[in-house]
């Protein structure tokens, strides 16, 4: 039976990801089976959680997942773990609309306690009313304790501990600053270089040496798994589709549950548009998002792969492309310096990283009578698509129509939106 808790923060940039990685690795090093989760749509943090916990990490998202699906995903991955660690998103009550989809909302839905990570580098007793507000705002959110981050002196910590005592929230310790475990940011979430494993281990040692992690585990709550409610798909008859999933340095932004869902349609094979020169025979090809802008010369230079993907589209092979995958299927990608690199050319548009501007948010997509939720996050923009109509209506979480297009050419579907189809029936496959 797993014990679970959620690591959150009053605001972003408090260090909750570094703490999550360090705690996950430390428990794993002690022989615990650690199951990591990430609140929200961030597909990058789950990559890092997977490495830290040595076990595939999973997204939990109340905007894209119905409540029953959210609970099922959490329980199915937690059932054989010793400890389940959920990392929150942004500030504790920050949701898509008010607190909808926030860390607090997910903690309530799963009935697990919250451990707050507070950046207290420029904070002393004033943290008391802040903690009081977080504790009182929604009494159904159970704050099990507080960890103060970036605190370098015991005297500073003493003031913070007094603040916790004043509002009757357990103080679980403090973590001094440490440049050796600082993780650089890139785009959404964290992108870590080749020293990633070393950083994770250093984070585990640093966190372990300053926090009573056994006491933290005592704050966790046992996960009561209703095995009857967990869907058993072991006897589900698979379809006969052969599915190619792009997976390499460029194409890596996938939701684990989406891949599990595809497994019910057939047999998955992975390939690399960056490295491979032969495209295996397939019924379905899935090109997820990633960082094509970092590998433009290599992608453009692999002309054999570009040609075979064009041919596959003309043969009517179903291709699903999201964000970076969509950029790859256009005529060109323009880098930050204005240099154009030829791409697959299934669609006549081009995408550009020049004058880049962030676009992000949840998206509700209505396509051919089906509603699918997803998330948009990119810095590039589409150019020369004026003659292409969208086959879907797209709305934000606040029900404002969004101009992002869903493109279609024969059986090729492409969009900036990372769709979450895992909660839907297989019939949705006919629409994406």
List the chain pLDDT tens, one digit each, 432 residues: 789 999 999 999 899 999 999 999 999 999 999 999 999 999 989 999 999 999 999 999 999 999 999 999 999 999 999 999 999 999 999 999 999 999 999 999 999 999 999 999 999 999 999 999 999 999 999 999 999 999 999 999 999 999 999 999 999 999 999 988 877 654 443 454 455 788 899 999 999 899 988 888 889 999 887 655 555 544 445 678 999 999 999 999 999 999 999 998 999 999 999 999 999 999 999 999 999 999 999 999 999 999 999 999 999 999 999 999 999 999 999 999 999 999 999 999 999 999 999 999 999 999 988 999 999 999 999 999 999 999 999 999 999 999 999 999 999 999 999 999 998 876 666 555
Q: Which of 39, 171, 219, 323 is catalytic?
A: 323
Q: What is the predicted pLDDT for the residue at 184?
A: 62
Q: What is the predicted pLDDT for the residue at 190?
A: 43
CATH 3.40.50.880: which residues of the chain? 241-431
Return the CATH number of the domain spanning residue range 3-222.
3.40.50.300
**Residue 118, beta-bridge partner list:** 148
431 is catalytic: no
Residues across the chain: 432
Residue 128 CB neighbours (<10 A): 18
Return the CATH number of the domain spanning residue range 241-431.
3.40.50.880
CATH 3.40.50.300: which residues of the chain? 3-222
Q: What is the predicted pLDDT for the residue at 67?
A: 95
Residue 97 has, within 13 A of its CA and on its CB side, a CA count of 9
Give the CA-trace dihedral at 411, 412, 416, 419, to 10 degrees.
Answer: 50
**Spatial CA neighbour of 26 closest among 218, 216, 219:** 216
**Spatial CA neighbour of 170 closest among 209, 204, 212, 223:** 212
């Amino acid at each position: 039976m797993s014990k679970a808790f959620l690591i959150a923060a009053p605001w972003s940039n408090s260090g909750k990801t570094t703490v999550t990685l360090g705690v996950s690795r430390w428990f794993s090093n002690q022989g615990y089976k650690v199951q990591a989760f990430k609140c929200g749509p961030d597909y990058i943090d789950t990559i890092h959680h997977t490495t830290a916990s040595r076990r595939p990490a999973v997204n939990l998202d109340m905007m894209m997942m119905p409540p029953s699906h959210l609970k099922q995903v959490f329980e199915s991955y937690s059932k054989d773990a010793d400890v389940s660690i959920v990392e929150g998103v942004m500030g504790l009550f920050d949701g898509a609309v008010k607190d909808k989809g926030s860390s607090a909302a997910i903690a309530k839905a799963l009935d697990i306690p919250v451990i707050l990570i507070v950046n207290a580098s420029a904070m002393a007793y004033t943290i008391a009313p802040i903690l009081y507000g977080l504790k009182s705002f929604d009494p159904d959110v159970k704050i099990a304790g507080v960890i103060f981050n970036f605190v370098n002196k015991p005297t500073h910590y003493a003031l913070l501990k007094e603040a916790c005592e004043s509002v009757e929230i357990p103080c679980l310790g403090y973590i001094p600053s440490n440049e050796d475990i600082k993780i650089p940011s890139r785009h959404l979430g964290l992108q870590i270089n080749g020293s990633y494993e070393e950083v994770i281990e250093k984070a585990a040692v640093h966190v372990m040496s300053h926090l009573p992690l056994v006491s933290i585990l005592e704050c966790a709550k046992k996960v009561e798994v209703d095995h009857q409610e967990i869907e058993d798909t072991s006897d589900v008859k698979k379809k006969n589709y052969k599915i190619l999933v792009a997976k390499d340095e460029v194409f890596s932004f996938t939701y684990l549950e989406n891949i599990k869902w595809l497994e019910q349609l057939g047999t998955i094979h992975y390939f690399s548009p960056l490295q491979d020169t032969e495209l295996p025979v397939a019924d379905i090809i899935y090109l997820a998002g990633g960082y094509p802008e970092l590998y433009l010369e290599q992608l453009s230079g692999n002309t054999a792969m570009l040609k075979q993907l064009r041919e596959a589209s003309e043969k009517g092979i179903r291709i699903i492309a999201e964000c970076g995958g969509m950029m790859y299927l256009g005529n060109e990608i323009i880098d930050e310096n204005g240099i154009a690199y030829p791409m697959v050319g299934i669609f006549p548009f081009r995408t550009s990283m020049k004058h880049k501007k962030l676009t992000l948010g949840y998206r509700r997509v209505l396509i051919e009578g089906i509603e699918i939720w997803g998330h948009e996050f990119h810095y590039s923009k589409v150019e020369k698509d004026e003659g292409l109509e969208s086959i879907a209506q797209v709305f934000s979480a606040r029900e404002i129509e969004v101009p992002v297009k869903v493109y279609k050419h024969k059986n090729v579907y492409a969009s900036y939106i990372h769709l979450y189809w895992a909660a839907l029936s297989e019939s949705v496959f006919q629409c994406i």
